[in-house]
Structure 1
Amino acid sequence: MTQSWDVIVIGSGIGGLTAATLLAKAANKRVLVLEKHFERGGLTQTFRRDGASWDVGLHYVGGLNKGSRIRTLFDYMSNSALEWNKMPDDFERFIYPDIEFLVPSDRLEYQKRLIDIYPEEATAIRRYFTDLDDIYNWHVNGTIQLALPWPAKDLTSLSRRRKSKKATQTTKEYFDSRFKSAQLKRLLSTQWGDYGMVPSESAFAIHALVTQSYMDGAWYPKGGSSRISRTFETNIEAAGGVIKVCKEVTSIITDKNGKVCGVKAVDLSGDKLTEVEYHAPSVISNVGAGLTYTKLLPTDGEIGRRTAAVRKLIERIGSGISSVTLYLRLSKPVSTLGIKGENYWINTTIEQRDLDSQTEAVIAGNPGFGYMSFPSSKSGEDRFHTAEVLALVKAEHFSAWKATQHGNRGKEYLDLKDRISRGLLDLAETAAPGLKSLVEYSELSTPLSVIDYISSPSGDIYGLKGTPERYHGAALLSKSYVPGLYLTGQDAASLGIAGALVGGLMTASRVLGPFGLISIMKQVESEAKGGPCILPDGKRCLDKTKAVVNAKTALTSSIWKLELDLENTVAFVPGQYALLKVAPFEWRYYSIANIENRRLTLLISTRTGGHGSTYVEKVGVGAETEVELPFGSFRLQKNDCHKSNGGSWQANIR
């Protein structure tokens, strides 16, 4: 089976979705996005347990004040359907044994607070804020340069050269050459977790980019980060494109001239695995430089020769950091503890330990560093109360279980997770006394979770490390080695959500040619100034089926039978599931009870009180919605996560 498209995107993370959405809306390209997982969105997806939800990778985003370039792009790609909640004015709390510092949403106030504490460092502090500006612009201009036509590309390159030495020194080298106070240096480097490298490893460029992006505060998507993929999807589908989940790309296809012409994939959506080919003259990879050049393309022959240098660079830079995250559902809002929704960066020592030592401490149940946030407070959720406690770790410390299967990793692994969970909760309690008493449910993810659900082979969450060597090798990373193939996401631009989004913008621009960036931004800015929101003229995505509610029956006090008439005939096998649209940009999956003569029957529990529960209780006969089906198979497995009423059985989806 083969299908043809204008552009194929591998991976539905923020970089891939940005490129796909811009090509669809700004250039009317028919784009196919292929996602291995059953959830779209990559690190912007959320997951749910009994109605409560947590973000997987998006914790907060900077630079989203009205009129900013990033906000304008988000508004354009979501047709302004994606709303953002501003976090508290003091949005970060840095906690150390000898000092606690609140980071304000105002650059001048931030500078003033630091100078009030360290008056003898006033000159260096002022210079630091100036340098953040300069190197932030150095970084941004370097990224934009990749999509500019000549001679603008060369002129931009010349203007950046005099600042390159400062940008590509390590963060530690920068701090040591400018500040005397060890405490101040440690305080300023607290947000190293946002880019995953301690100061002795990170380039000052990545520190400046991340720190500067939060000078006006931080934002979080209203309703949760999964709204991003669903709002972007509208434009992809309007141009005749589609996001296909449960599709694992196994290789990129080239023709006899060495030009990209499509991909091979395995369809994971049915009860049997099937191979499929998709054809397009342009392929965008959002699965990382390493996986693209070492797995999806041949490493021998002519293509192997062309990519040899970049593969060596990728190996030298190495994979980034991973994480363990403790997800908590609470009985009460954290406001009862005096918490306003700010992030907590918790440190038990002023010393900066290396990553191996930090990982060993986490595994021993005695973490010295952690990040805590409160998704429900940030998203505006008032029915469920949630928290997350995260520690950064090196994934190789979990390699003993890499060959095992999710849900079947043995007692030693479960004991390890229990020890890590208790250590993280103890750490959180030191910063937020009383938190433990509110915990109703807890669940821990490890680097193996990242490998399983984000398809990151080494479990890293930030892609290639933002080291000086990465910036020295930027020309190699940005080069196109196979005609028609483009990288996007974090490895194409920079780390994090905003970095991956900018990477998607640059990639879409390059696909459209030398003036692609100018063309895209002209449309983005026109809409931002009040111009019409113009959706592409295309056919509706065929992977979704219109459905009309035919009947609903309350089988018990908490179980409903919902019957829907489908627009199209759909075949299924027992054990498969359907995605049902239950609210704008909100979808829930349910096991298919039956499909007969285009009549779909679902059984829906209202025990959790979430969006799906509300939908089935309130929906009337004749109401229209959409379903996406069929997918994979459900199987029951024991959920050994900590819960107030003990373990439970839950559905696991392939």
Structure 2
Amino acid sequence: MNTQFIQNNSEPHYDVIVIGSGLGGLVSALILAKEGKKVVVLEKNNQYGGNLQTFVRNKTIFDTGVHYIGGLDKGENLYNYFSYLNISDKLKLRQLNKNGFDMISFDDDIQEYPIAQTYQNFVDQLAIFFPTERENLIQYSKKLEEICSAFPMYNLNIGTFADEEDFLSINAKEYIDSVFTNERLKAVLVGNNFLYVGQAEKTPLYIHALSVNSYIHSAWRCVNGGSQIAKLLIKELKKYGGEIYKYQEIKSFVQNENEEVIGCETIKGKRYFGELFISNIDIKKTIDMLGERKFGKPFSRRVKSLEVTPSAFTIYIVFKPKSFSYINHNIYHFNSINDVWDSYEKPTNNWPNTYIATFSMDQKDEEYSESMTVMTYMTFDEVQKWEESYNVDINDNYGNRGEEYEEFKRQKTELIIRKLEKKFPGIRKKISDIHTSTPLSYRDFIGSEKGNMYGYLKDSSHPMKTFISPRSKVKNIFFTGQNVRVHGVLGVTVGAFVTCCEILGAEYLMNKVHREIEPNANE
């Protein structure tokens, strides 16, 4: 859908219009605002930040998407990118347990297995439990680093990513099976694959490596939530004259008589005109806003055929004061080692087959947890009967989708609590309140297709099928977000720099980044 208009002088005109205020959109906007460009960011909802959003219940802050971040120690990759954006030293962070930031556990095993920070410690901690696999762990660690080094922008270097199909088509499970003999260790090494939705036959090794490598270097929890990242980026954006507006849902692009894109229009009829447009919303929606012909039918049809990752069902637990000790690591728990791959496709008779639990510290008494967030897989099919209902109200909205929906959530919550009781006996009595979100919540607040967590599923058998260039066939429309390169805070940040390299020139931008961050690195 697109509209033709002649601009009048009273309508705003910008150098760059960014559609969507997720991390990729905000980073792209700030990079270009630093170049002196007149930039505006348009967000459809009440809250900025996409997956960086937080919400408050019972005076407790909960994250919607960002539960921990890697690569933020001084001099590491995300720290350096954030330094260029002038937010690294402003973040309020707490480093997770260095001897095990993620702990992997199973119903049939009382032991918890650590994923530790720094590769030496990573090897040492796992070798305690799997001493005969030490040399294999060293080999595996070197392989992860080697893969990450093949992506220049991951390490703030100039160059294109490793686009050789042989490299990208290495399957994660097949590689791990070829290196290790112990089945439990194999399961532990991919035990945190909720970070990328592990599929035995599809997940490429490079996705596994890029997802876990930065955490192994250093892993951090955002104090008071990940929304601080969005707030800091917006503050910097405004410092450079950038503008940002909420409740501006874009329905179409505006073209002139030569079919050149010159603006965009909101669902309420407000028009914004500009020279360049960066889409930080779902790529399929972007295509629909202008039509397949403009983006090229082969590209459009390829994108529309791509499978998205599943969504999640999440419970947000508020603890009674001083009732539950603070845990400075994340827990990935499985029914058995057979559930680590393809967990979301397993039979639901023993649901959930897996869950991830994260904890927030009580700021008044650091010995205790204030809250706990528990996530598990859920496909959109389970909530499809309510798909025509929408909710973007950040206030408590019990009953908005009907009592049947509320009962569905209560039943799912009870199943999770029963699982937690096995892991944490007596936890039920320590809970003050519980809130929930479903794939519908993620769809409405984040804007992702079917509420998916990480965009398009990558497939080692067809590695280039999910490759999305930040430069579209429409000369002044660019893409950013989790489908450009990879998902996650680091992946999306790198993707935004990749997008801006297409606009400004890679050599120019990355040389400027190094000039600005090197004085800080030497302090």
Aligned partner letter, 1:327: Y
State the match for 1:129 in structure 2.
Answer: 141
Q: 1:396 corresponds to which residue?
A: 381
- 1:342 and 2:336 correspond: no
- Sequence identity of aligned pairs in percent? 25
Aligned residue in 2 for 1:230: 231
Match of 2:298, SS state, is helix
Cα deviation 1:30-86 (Å, max 9, x = unaligned): 211111110011110100123211001001011111111211222332443223221
Q: Distance in 2 between matches of 1:355 and 1:195?
A: 12
Partner of residue 95 from structure 1, selected from 101, 105, 109: 105
Counterpart residue number, 2:318 = 329
Shift of 1:346: 1.1
CA contact (8 A) 1:365 1:421 kept: no
| 1:2 matched to 2:11 | yes
Partner of 1:560: none
Preserved CA contact (<8 Å) 2:470 2:480:
no
What is the match of residue 354 of structure 1? 342
Query: How many equivalent residue pairs?
Result: 502
Q: Tell me the alpha carbon deviations over residues 143-190 of structure 1, each in whole angstroms, 9 at most, x when there is no partner.
A: 978xx5xxx65xx75xx64xx524422212212222222212111111
**Cα deviations across residues 293-349 of structure 1 (Å, max 9, x unaligned)?**
2x222124xx1xx43222233244311121010001111357x44x43210111121
AA at the equivalent of 1:366? W
Residues 4 and 280, structure 1, Cα contact 8 Å, conserved in 2: yes
Contact kept in structure 2, 1:370 and 1:389, CA below 8 Å? yes
Give, as a single letter, the amino acid of the residue that structure 2 aligns with 1:455: G
- The letter for the 2-side match of 1:201 is K
The residue number in structure 2 matching 1:320 is 309
Query: Residues 457 and 466 of structure 2 are in contact (CA less than 8 Å); yes or no, is this contact kept in structure 1?
Result: no
SS in structure 2 of the partner of residue 275 of structure 1:
coil
Q: Secondary structure at the match of 2:434?
A: strand
Number of the residue aligned with 1:499: 491
Confirm whether residue 196 of structure 1 aligns to residue 197 of structure 2: yes
In structure 2, do the counterparts of structure 1 residues 261 and 171 end up closer, same or farther at CA, with 3 Å as the change threshold? same
CA–CA distance in 2 between the matches of 1:379 and 1:477?
47
CA, structure 1 residues 74+449, in 2 after alignment: closer, same or farther (shift >3 Å)? Answer: same
1:539-563 alpha-carbon deviations (Å, 9 max, x no partner): xxxxxxxxxxxxxxxxxxxxxxxxx
Are 1:241 and 2:242 an aligned pair? yes
Q: What is residue 41 of structure 1 aligned with on the other side?
A: 49
Amino acid at match of 1:325: T
| In structure 1, distance between residues paired with 2:101 and 2:306 | 32
1:110 to 116, 122, 133: 122
1:50 matches 2:55: no
> Is 2:290 the counterpart of 1:297?
yes
Counterpart CA distance in 1 for 2:311 and 2:200 is 17
* Aligned mates of 1:94, 1:481 — CA distance in 2: 44
Name the residue aligned to 1:23. 32
The C-alpha deviation readout for 1:567-589, integer Å capped at 9, x for no partner, is xxxxxxxxxxxxxxxxxxxxxxx
Deviation at 1:254, TM superposition (A): 3.7
Q: Give 2:403's match in structure 1, choosing from 407, 411, 436.
A: 411
The residue identity in structure 1 corresponding to 2:147 is I
2:480 match: 488
Letter in 1 for 2:460: P
Quick one: which amino acid aligns to residue 297 of structure 1? L
* Residue equivalent to 1:82: 91
Which TM-score applies when normalising by structure 2? 0.88
Distance 1:84 1:242 in 2: 27
Residues 64 and 50 of structure 1: CA distance in aligned 2, closer, same or farther (over 3 Å): same
Check the 8 A contact 1:95/1:345 in 2, yes or no.
yes
Q: Which has the higher contact order (CA 8 A, sep 6+)?
A: 2
- The structure-2 alpha-carbon separation of the partners of 1:216 and 1:327, relative to structure 1 and needing over 3 Å to count, comes to same
- The one-letter code of the counterpart of 2:12 is Q
**Aligned-partner SS, 2:499:** helix
Gaps of 5+ in 1: 267-273, 532-654
1:527 Cα deviation from its structure 2 partner? 5.8
The change in CA–CA distance for 1:347 and 1:383 in structure 2 (over 3 A counts) is: closer
* Pair 1:218-2:216 in alignment: no
**1:470, CA displacement in angstroms?**
6.4
| Higher percent of residues as strand | 1
Q: Which residue does the alignment assign to 1:176? A: 177
2:69 counterpart of 1:69: no
Amino acid at match of 1:62: G
Which amino acid in 2 is paired with 1:473?
K
Task: Return the offset for 1:142.
Answer: 8.2
* 1:538-557 matched pairs, under 5 angstroms: none
Matched letter for residue 331 of structure 1:
K
Deviation, structure 1 residue 250: 0.9
Q: Determine the structure 1 residue equivalent to 2:272.
A: 278
TM-score, reference length from structure 1: 0.71
Q: How far 1:3 sits from its partner (Å)?
A: 1.3
2:456 to 457, 464, 483: 464
Q: Residue deviations 1:260-288, cap 9 Å, x none?
A: 3221113xxxxxxx311101111111113
1:206 pairs with 2:216: no
Query: Which residue number corresponds to residue 414 of structure 2?
Result: 422
- Taking the aligned partners of 2:483 and 2:418, their CA distance within structure 1 comes to 35
After TM superposition, list the pairs within 5 Å mapping 1:377-392 onto structure 2.
Answer: 385-392=370-377
